[in-house]
Chains A and B, each alone.
Chain A
Amino acid sequence: MKLNSEEVNAIALESRLLLTEEELSNAVRYINNFLDMLDRFKELNLENVEPFSFAETLECPLREDTVISFTNTQAIFDESEHVDGAFFKVPRIMEE
């Protein structure tokens, strides 16, 4: 086993996920099976291989740098319960 439940729980917390005991036990099994599957990469010599990119999009097509007006901002605010005037209001960021 590559990762124990403590390590998997720490990764889950990094992802801002709180797992139940059952979820954690499933996640431990899942991650370890998954990492075992990825072990087969070690059979390949990847030293001189470049990471993948689509040949045609190596040069990312750029748009003209012009302002496009978006008039439907109210529709965006309407979807949030954390709006204060023209701003999103979030809970405190600094921990006490």
Chain B
Amino acid sequence: MELYELNLSFLVEGLKAKKFSPLEVYESCKNRIEKCEKNIHALITRTEDFAKSQLNENNNGILAGVPTILKDNLCTKGIKTTAASKILGDWRPPYDATAWKDLREAGAVLMGKANMDEFAMGNTCGNSAYGATHNPNDISRVPGGSSGGSAAAVSAGYVPFSLGSDTGGSIRQPASFCGVYGLKPTYGMVSRYGLISYGSSLDQIGPFARTVRDLQLVMSVISQYDPMDSSCFRGKKFDFTHSEDVSVKGKKIALVKEFQDFKLDTPISDAMKKVQKILEDEGAIITEVSLPVVARYAVACYYALAMSEAHTNLERYDGIRLGYTVKDASGIKEMFERVRSYGFGSEVKSRIIAGTCLTEPSRCEEYYVAATKVRTLIAQEFTKAFEDVDFILQPVTPSLPQKIGENDDDEMKSYATDLYTLPVNLAGLPGLSFFTGYSGNLPVGLQLIGKRWSDPEILNTGIILERHLGTPKIANGGE
């Protein structure tokens, strides 16, 4: 077995016991990246030299010498950070994102910055100014998005874990498409300081890994209170300690009644049945909850809010302080127009225009304010549901990953496929995307959702599921 094939927890144990050195791990991962990157294109920027320099820091933290990769919307001090947009040019942030600072202090070394949909807007990782990422399980297919590069890198064995961000499913959907585990933590559990904003009331940073235990380890490092993020909740302690002695006996796990009539690809509906059986055999009670407002209004509500927030967040890109610029503009208006028109891609432009439209005084009440109220109803519906049940089991997507280029020309239809993931962000809940097996060479994932702050319990349930369903193998990466 090559060192790059080791999952995070084994790697940490092996490094601690000095069975191999950080340099050997680094070399193995570097070679793996070298071999597969031409097929997958998971990375915008490779930072192996920086990682090697970190190995000389003699860090003794819990992740000492462990290679990792960050989605390229996480700020890295002095290292190019693009959000996959031309508008950021070669920008080198003057500070580290808190989640990366936490990992760095724990000893993780940075091998690269991962490709993504521009400003995290998309679900294929094809909407990037740096070209499309390919699914390491089948390079003719999409890896999902927007954190597609982060998911693909873990799936292909570049690194044992990575970070992504999830505004409406951007961790859970690529985790499912690439055959790894991905956690979208409760809103407020992980600091977003240094995350390039998309929809600030929805954005959340979270990890990808090849085992649930590995997610627990990463969460134990990054779930810290941070005064630099006002959404970060002070005064809560989270216990992500791994234990095999976990149980779902007597737990109520619900299916969503309104989702039962929606069409799923057969491998996904088969996986739903298989997982229900496993949970029942483990002593859980399978039940049903009704979420009618979620089922009918969540997609419209989400996109109204996400675009309104995006339009505000992206106002800051003006070409003056950082990124792409022009030097011969006759006035400020011309400068803004030229920088933004060249710098933003078409999907981003569409969403900015939509957000501007919804928040104009003449339309704000009808659309934006209405969406914030619909969001209240959606959150209330979840709160009520979780009074009766412990978790909700549901798909991540209705379909397996499509071929690259087979995107639906009707954006609204494409947005509708996010129905299973984006309600979680609207209500600020945690969601685990977990591996259930393969259909041919394509992985099939499902999702477990819990009430706010139940992330440790969700991962404990994930441990039981992984025991039954098996751990995903490293994808061939097109080799």
Taking Cβ atoms with an 8 Å cutoff, the residues of A that contact B are 3, 8, 11-19, 23, 26-27, 30-31, 33-35, 37-38, 40-41, 44, 46, 49-52, 54, 56-57, 60-61, 63, 72, 75-76, 78-82, 88, 90-93, 95-96
B322-344 near A? 1/0 per residue, CB < 8 Å: 11010101111111111011001
Report whether B297 and A41 are in contact in the complex, using a CB–CB cutoff of 8 Å. yes
CA distance A23 to B94 in the complex (A): 35
> B376 contacts A52, CB within 8 Å?
yes
Determine whether the beta carbon of A40 is less than 8 Å from that of B296.
yes
Min C-beta distance of A15 to chain B, whole Å = 5
- Tell whether, in the assembled complex, residue B231 and residue A41 are in contact, meaning their CB atoms are under 8 Å apart: no
Interface status of B33 (Cβ within 8 A of chain A): no
Which residues 275-304 of B have a CB within 8 angstroms of A?
A: 293, 296-297, 299-301, 303-304
Closest to B311 in A: A15
Q: Judging by beta carbons under 8 Å apart, are A44 and B337 in contact?
A: no
User: B331: which A residues are within 8 A, CB to CB?
Assistant: 91-93, 95-96
Interface SS, B side = helix
Give the distance in Å from the alpha carbon of A74 to the alpha carbon of B130 in the complex: 28
Residues in A with CB closer than 8 Å to B415 are: 37
B146 CB → nearest A CB, Å: 19
B372 adjacent to A52 (CB under 8 Å): yes
Can you add 14 more A-B contacts, CB < 8 Å, to A27-B350, A63-B227? A15-B353, A17-B353, A33-B411, A34-B303, A34-B412, A37-B303, A38-B370, A38-B371, A44-B377, A49-B376, A50-B373, A90-B320, A90-B335, A92-B332
Q: Of the candidates A15, A17, A50, A60, which one forms a contact with B230 in the assembled complex, judged by CB atoms under 8 Å apart?
A: A60
Residues on A with C-beta less than 8 A from B231 are 54, 57
Whole-angstrom CA separation of A17 from B356 in the bound complex? 11
Q: Are A41 and B300 in contact (CB under 8 A)?
A: yes
Q: What's the nearest-Cβ distance from chain B to residue A33, in Å?
A: 5
Chain A proximity of B226: nearest CB distance (Å): 11
| Nearest-CB residue, chain A, relative to B301 | A41
The residue from B233, B320, B329, B411 contacting A80, defined by CB atoms under 8 A apart: B320
- CB neighbours of B335 from chain A (8 A): 90-91
Question: In the bound complex, how far is the Cα of B338 from the Cα of A17, in angstroms?
Answer: 8
B311 touches A49 (CB 8 A): no
Contact partners of A80 in chain B: CB under 8 A: 320-322, 325
- Is B239 part of the binding interface, using a Cβ–Cβ cutoff of 8 Å? no
Please state if B346 and A26 are interface contacts (CB–CB under 8 Å): yes
Q: Are A33 and B300 neighbours in the complex by a CB distance under 8 Å?
A: no
Nearest 8 pairs of A and B residues by beta carbon = A51-B372, A75-B94, A52-B375, A16-B336, A49-B373, A46-B373, A18-B341, A52-B376
List 8 A–B pairs whose Cβ atoms lie within 8 Å, in order of A's numbering: A30-B411, A37-B299, A38-B300, A75-B77, A75-B78, A76-B94, A90-B332, A91-B335
A19 to B330, CA, bound (A): 20
CA distance A96 to B334 in the complex (A): 13
Contact (Cβ within 8 A) A3 B350: no
